[in-house]
Amino acid sequence: MKQFVIAGTFAAGVVLAGAAMAQTAPQTPPAPAPKPAAGAPAQTDKPKPAPTARRTAQGDNASGTHTAPKQQPTTAEEPAAPGAMVLGTVRLPKGVKVDGKEIAAGSYQVRLTADEAKPDAKGSTEKLERWVEFVKGGSVVGREVVSIVPAAETKLVQKDTPPPAGGSKVETLKGGDYVRVWINKGGNYYLVHLPNS
């Protein structure tokens, strides 16, 4: 009986030792790759990893290759631009420059033209950047760019008290470099910024 126990113990030890040696047996290193001939491009056996698509919080443009903005849905109709008309009469308390020309203090009729102010002014809508004429004694003494704020948008841009309907307001802006002519006609605001002379 002792012989069977000893033989069984010996056999189990041989099996375990063989398994342990198989796990720790040194592996033979791979054979070195042959050196390329002089002037030949080097080749590697390593396959290049396939590019993976990354999706991040930035969206589809994680690599920064997209150059044009994506088309946005139209959220509001383009405002209609008014036609040529007389906006009213304003009194300038001091001399200013209108289209680079100096004009003296005094009262002037302001007329909106049908001419868009491109390329001189680039507003959010080209149709709403136009030219106005300053008229004195029936003659145009100067033209300047006016920004038209449609009635639907006046509350979005209004910070100061606006002029009354059909009225105007002329004020020197902070810093004293510009005079703002603000006209309220038909619910639209017409803003002209004139440098002091």
Task: Enter the tokens of residue 74.
Answer: 């139209």
**C-alpha pair distances (Å), 141 with each of 99, 102, 111, 114, 137:** 10, 9, 12, 18, 9
Among 41-45, 173-177, 180-184, where is mean pLDDT lowest? 41-45
| Confidence category of residue 151, pLDDT binned at 50, 70, 90 | confident
Contact 114, 96 (CB under 8 A): no
Burial degree of 169 (CB within 10 A; 0-12, 13-18, 19+): middle
Q: Cβ neighbours of residue 104 under 8 Å, at least 6 residues apart?
A: 95
Beta bridge partners of 108: 90
170: pLDDT strictly greater than 80? yes
b/e code 114-127 from CB counts within 10 Å (16+ = b): eebbeeeeebeeee
Q: Which pLDDT score is estimated for 5?
A: 46
What single-letter DSSP state applies at residue 61? -
Distance CA 27, CA 38 (A): 32
Distance CA 87, CA 182 (A): 10
| pLDDT greater at residue 60 or residue 147 | 147
Q: Which pLDDT score is estimated for 17?
A: 54
What single-letter DSSP state applies at residue 91? E
The structural domains of the chain, with segments of one domain joined by +, span: 85-195
pLDDT digits (tens, 9 = 90+) for 57-96: 555 555 566 677 777 666 656 667 788 999 999 999 999 9
| Confidence category of residue 168, pLDDT binned at 50, 70, 90 | very high
| pLDDT greater at residue 97 or residue 73 | 97
pLDDT digits (tens, 9 = 90+) for 122-141: 555 667 899 999 999 999 99
Q: What is the CA radius of gyration of the chain?
A: 41
pLDDT more than 70, % of the chain: 56
**Conformation bin of residue 178: beta by default, left when phi > 0, alpha when psi is -120 to 50:** beta
* pTM for the predicted model, two decimal places: 0.58
